[in-house]
Structure 1
Amino acid sequence: MIYIIPIGIQDHDDEWKKRTILLWRWGNISSLFQRVDTVFCYVQDLEQAKRWYQDVFGFSIRFENDDICSLNISETPLTLIQSPPGEPFQPARRAFFNFYVSDTEMARNHLLKHNVIVSEIFDDKDVKWMWFQDLDGNRIEICCFS
């Protein structure tokens, strides 16, 4: 919500437009931005990536067209986007999101069973985490905390 407040003038003053300030009522901004709607991940071959995410993670398709495939994870889907043809593909070298799991050992073993490149499990006291690479080399992280 934005409030426009005249400073030191009456409403009938013609100069009021020149002497106004905008105040953001920050308490209402958080209700404006309600959630992360989707997470985007660029891929080289949309069909291959879609099958890979379905096979490895069991994600179902929420929506798809020729250039994107949105996968159900939970409230926030993962949306795979076909990299533009003719442009060099650059995998994400740093994780731009992570998956939450309740058991990092089980998750790591599952990924290894699917021949996924996966790191060791790092234990940072309150959080255990690891990273893996998807079919295109995009780095994605996995975390677990109590």
Structure 2
Amino acid sequence: MSFIERIDTVCIKVRNIEESSLWYQEKLGFKVVYQGLSYRVLSIGDSSVPLTIEQDNDKTSTSNQTYPIFFTKNIKETYQSLKEKGVSCGEIQIDGVNNFFDFYDADGNKLQVCFWE
């Protein structure tokens, strides 16, 4: 039996905690459930795993970075909604039963959304 019980949160480093917090709320509809001095914990729909954004003033590169993959029931509608909100999005990819696309937050952090049945 593992001593690790679950994933508690996924953390993304950002340059400006206030601007990033607003971006995630306005563009993705996430809700702030806890505020620390240099971080915010955001709830994501019905998920039990929140997203934590944390201020990092020394952030210089987003390459080779872990990224969250969000799930949606309607990939095309989600894609269109993000594009209409001015979010930078890659094209929808189809890999067998998995449909997904990358998109980027205000700090250039890669995020991904997927749909599968």
TM-score scaled to structure 1, two decimals?
Answer: 0.74
Find the partner of 1:82 among 33, 55, 58: 55
The 1:92/1:134 distance shift into structure 2, 3 A limit, reads: farther
The 1:137/1:100 distance shift into structure 2, 3 A limit, reads: same
Amino acid in the other structure paired with 2:28:
F
The 1:95/1:103 distance shift into structure 2, 3 A limit, reads: farther
Checking the alignment, whether the CA contact within 8 Å between 1:56 and 1:111 is kept in structure 2 is yes
Checking the alignment, whether the CA contact within 8 Å between 2:14 and 2:59 is kept in structure 1 is no
The 1:42/1:92 distance shift into structure 2, 3 A limit, reads: farther
Checking the alignment, whether the CA contact within 8 Å between 1:40 and 1:78 is kept in structure 2 is yes
Matched, 1:139 2:110: yes
Distance 1:95 1:72 in 2: 19
Matched, 1:115 2:86: yes
Find the partner of 2:76 among 98, 105, 121: 105
Amino acid in the other structure paired with 2:38:
D
Checking the alignment, whether the CA contact within 8 Å between 1:44 and 1:89 is kept in structure 2 is no
* Structure with higher RCO (Cα < 8 A, 6+ apart): 2
Gap regions ≥5 residues in structure 2: none
Larger Rg: 1
Checking the alignment, whether the CA contact within 8 Å between 1:102 and 1:144 is kept in structure 2 is yes
Distance 1:88 1:42 in 2: 7
Deviations 1:56-102 (A, max 9, x none): 11111111111100000120000000013xx2432355552200111
- RMSD over equivalenced CA pairs, Å: 1.4
Distance 1:65 1:81 in 2: 9
SS at match of 2:48: coil
Checking the alignment, whether the CA contact within 8 Å between 1:93 and 1:139 is kept in structure 2 is no
Gap regions ≥5 residues in structure 1: 1-27
